[in-house]
Structure 1
Amino acid sequence: MKSHLYKIIHTTCHTDWGGLEKRVLNESLWMADKGHQVIIIAPENTPLLQRAKGHGLNLYPMSFKRLSALSDYSRLIRIFNQEKPHIVNTHGNTDSKIALPAAKKALVPCRILSRHISTPVSNTWYNRLLYKKLSHYTFTTADYTRRHLQDVFNLSAQQVFSIPSGIVEPAALSPKDEERKNLAAKLNLDPCARFIGFAGRVSQDKGVDTLLQGFQKAARHIPHHLVIAGTGEASFLGRMSELARDLNIENRVHFIGFQENVWPFYRSLDCKILPSVFEGIPQVLIEAMYALCPVIGSRTGGIADIITHDETGLLFNVGQSCQLCEMIIKTIDHPEATNERAQNAEQKMKRCHTIETMGQKIIRIYQSHFNNT
């Protein structure tokens, strides 16, 4: 193919606004800025489609529900035949099962299945069909997931790639002390208050219960408040609020909901914690590290790929609140070592995890594919 400009279609069945959706939008905008044509197909009135409006991207609403699978399949074939994309990249379980067969039927020349989470994939006949026949490539966000898929499906290094999400760098970062005082004022606390925090979906798989238990153990040794930024199901949020009361830490735990601009939040913290049960390489962790915020993560999936223990952050075993407590105290009580880890992490993020780095890696894969077909 002579031209290196591509028409790319992304599909997703997801309706939230998290790392996956941010990845789709940021990648799409980066590609469009480089001159490529980008189309997003997602459920109607979702944050992804709402935020994509006004950026010059083509948008198609699609329900991606079980009851509409056949009609979605037929409509996708029509869209693919009409748009004639060079690349279709699917990002969710349901849309992959519909869009990849439709893309193959429409003879789309490059088909990609993106897997954003690190949960195990079973070696079923249908998964073999998805990963080995219907898609040319699998993109993962973590080496852990890439290695798992290679082992399960006997995929070659030319079939599955680890491409961590790249962050869109902020124009500037505000002073840490200023943002700490701003957060204290927002929470009606003493201006000298200190904070550790969590950002992301507030759910069981993110280990929020372990976070509260670890903080409760550390709270008697440190003066900090725990601030939890993000949304989740009302029933789970209620259970976590109840757990904080049961642990007698409700006065030092603050649920502040979704934060549109996370950079001031990261700058206000003395430590950001991600205690997930399973995870790809989370964008919230990359962002915090870029913002020179010290990090602690659970030793699982892509978190262990991005945090090198005692070098760019600290790790603890999944679900081990006592270990988390130790890592929190170690972070707070040894500021020189903590600052050194944060600086190492920032340098690594700037070197390896920007949107430019991610986009260029993807373009090289596209070019290699079309040069060899």
Structure 2
Amino acid sequence: MPTGLRYLISLLKQLRVRVLFPFVGDSLGGSHKSTLLLIEFLETKNIETIVVLHQRYEPLTRLLEEKEINFFLLPTSKLAGSDPSIPNIVFNVIRNLIPFSVFLLKHRINIVHGNDLRINLSWSLPSLLTFRKFVWHQRTVLSNSMFWAFIRLLSSHCIAISRYVFESLPKNIPGTAKSMVYNPFVSIKKESQRINEIKQGLQIKDSDFIISYLGRVVKEKKIDTLIRSIPLLQESPRVKILIAGKGEENYLKYLKELSKDLILTNRIHFLDFVENVEDYLWLSDLVVCPGPKEGFGRVVVESMMTSTPVIASRSGAHTEIIQERENGLTYKLDDQEELKDKIQELINNQELYQKIKINSNKTFQSFSLKKHGDSIMEIYNS
């Protein structure tokens, strides 16, 4: 290759916008899935992306390797926000300031895109001091604390993942510096053989009605509301429950004891963390999302991808996604009686069940990766 052409290619590479995506690296959840989809989209737009992990978590690193996304390990003893007290937040911001700033300068980063509170708190100041654009992606509802007013000072733009989260953003952020952008999704092919193997392993019969919960197994998700509703059903014996996810050991123990007390032990499967969530959505007849104040409700939309009807608590962003009796059902938070009634109705009313299956998949089509990616590109270019 001629020297002049090599020089031109090298120059063009240097001119490419470089976006850094730091991850804590201690978990694998919806925010990671959304971000990895965005990274794949940006690469098609000639934007160079760099991923940093502060910890090595095997499921996450394996997913990055499967997608052929290279990453840097940048260990740190503690990120800001790991301890919620303000003195500790300030201390950890200062402690990481120099190594993070050096990384930004060394790798000629143009934009830092944060997707976790600890990342946002830890990387925003180094970005500001090295004159990099920092995009603060807010995925949970913020409290009314005046503390959050500083987001305006440390970020170039703030993105909320739903109208519900958007309304909680500090009022001092001007309209031009904040946006609401829904999470992206892509269709995933149904793997029938893999699904059949799961059903055989769990001894699921074709006549069983499978209700699933997929997410963190923690007290605030109110999974016990779902378990308590099952004995109240008229056709309770043929209903099987799948609870998939990691979480609090004490709460998991409580749920297992509750299942035993309600004589449901043989009909509830506690599956721990599962990597191929879509397989469990495909084999489910119904998905229940009982948690309160969800910033978005990723499992709701993932269920719609597989045309699996959803019943969710009438709380948080669930009501932005679900249109009652059109593409899903909702119930009053903590109301096991109403949840039981909604489950019973979907079991008995096949016309409504099929209507929701069809409409939910139509809703899924509106959460496209292209729409999400185009919105993010517009923010980067602003």
In the superposition, the TM-score normalised over structure 1's length comes to 0.87
| Residue 144 in structure 1 maps to residue 167 in structure 2 | no
Larger mean CA deviation between 288-297 and 183-192 belongs to: 183-192
- Contact 1:206–1:278 (CA under 8 A) maintained in structure 2: no
1:98 counterpart residue number = 122
Which of 288, 303, 326 aligns to 2:303? It is 288
Q: Which piece of structure 1 moves more, 262-271 or 44-53?
A: 44-53
| CA radius of gyration, larger in | 2
Deviation string, structure 1 residues 54-108 (Cα, Å, up to 9, x no partner) = 7243424243435754332211111112223221111222222221011000000
State the match for 1:245 in structure 2.
Answer: 260
Corresponding residue for residue 89 of structure 1:
113
Q: Residue 25 of structure 1: which of 36, 42, 45 is its match?
A: 36
Contact 2:159 2:178 (8 Å CA) reproduced? yes
How far does residue 14 in structure 1 lie from its aligned partner after superposition? 5.5
Q: Which residue of 2 aligns with 1:197?
A: 212
Moved more, 314-323 or 49-58: 49-58
| Residue matched to 2:340 | 325
CA contact (8 A) 2:183 2:367 kept: yes
Note if 1:361 corresponds to 2:375. Answer: yes
In the other structure, the counterpart of 2:150 is 129
Are residues 157 and 349 of structure 1, via their aligned partners in 2, closer, same or farther at CA, if it must alter by over 3 Å? farther
Residue 313 of structure 1: how far off its partner (Å)? 0.4
Per mean C-alpha deviation after superposition, the further-off stretch among 48-57 and 10-19 is 48-57
Deviation at 1:245, TM superposition (A): 1.0
Matching residue's letter, 2:150: L
Residues 181-190 or 271-280, more deviating: 181-190
Q: How does 1:150-165 map to 2 (within 5 A)?
A: 152-165=170-183
User: How many aligned positions are there?
Assistant: 357
Deviations along 1:230-288, whole A, 9 cap, x unmatched?
22232221111111112222221111222222222111111111111221223222111
Taking the TM superposition and a 5 Å limit, the aligned residue runs for 1:224-263 are: 224-263=239-278
Instruction: Find out whether 1:173 has 2:161 as its counterpart.
Output: no
Quote the Cα distance in structure 2 between the aligned partners of 1:311 and 1:240.
Answer: 32
Gaps in structure 1 of 5+ consecutive residues: none
Higher mean displacement: 260-269 or 178-187: 178-187
8 Å contact kept, 1:179–1:265? no
Name the SS for the 1:153 alignment partner.
coil
The 5-angstrom pairing of residues 25-64 of structure 1 reads 25-46=36-57, 47-53=59-65, 55-63=68-76, 64=78
Find out whether 1:65 has 2:87 as its counterpart.
no
Q: 1:320 to 1:23 in 2, by over 3 A?
A: same
* Correspondence for 2:355: 340
Q: Answer yes or no: is 1:266 the counterpart of 2:281.
A: yes
RMSD: 2.5
1:158-193 superposed Cα distances (whole Å, 9 cap, x missing partner): 2222222212321x3356xx8876544221244432
Instruction: Give the distance between the partners of 2:195 and 2:49, measured in 1 at CA.
Output: 39
Letter in 1 for 2:79: K
Contact 1:6 1:36 in 2 (8 A): yes
TM-score w.r.t. the length of structure 2 is: 0.85
Letter in 2 for 1:301: G
- The separation in 2 between residues aligned to 1:284 and 1:304, in whole angstroms, is 14
After superposition, the Cα gap between the structure-2 partners of 1:240 and 1:344, relative to the gap in structure 1 and judged at 3 Å, is: same
Provide the identity percentage: 20
Which structure ranks higher in relative contact order (CA pairs < 8 Å, sequence separation ≥ 6)? Answer: 1
Matches of 1:14 and 1:58, distance apart in 2: 11
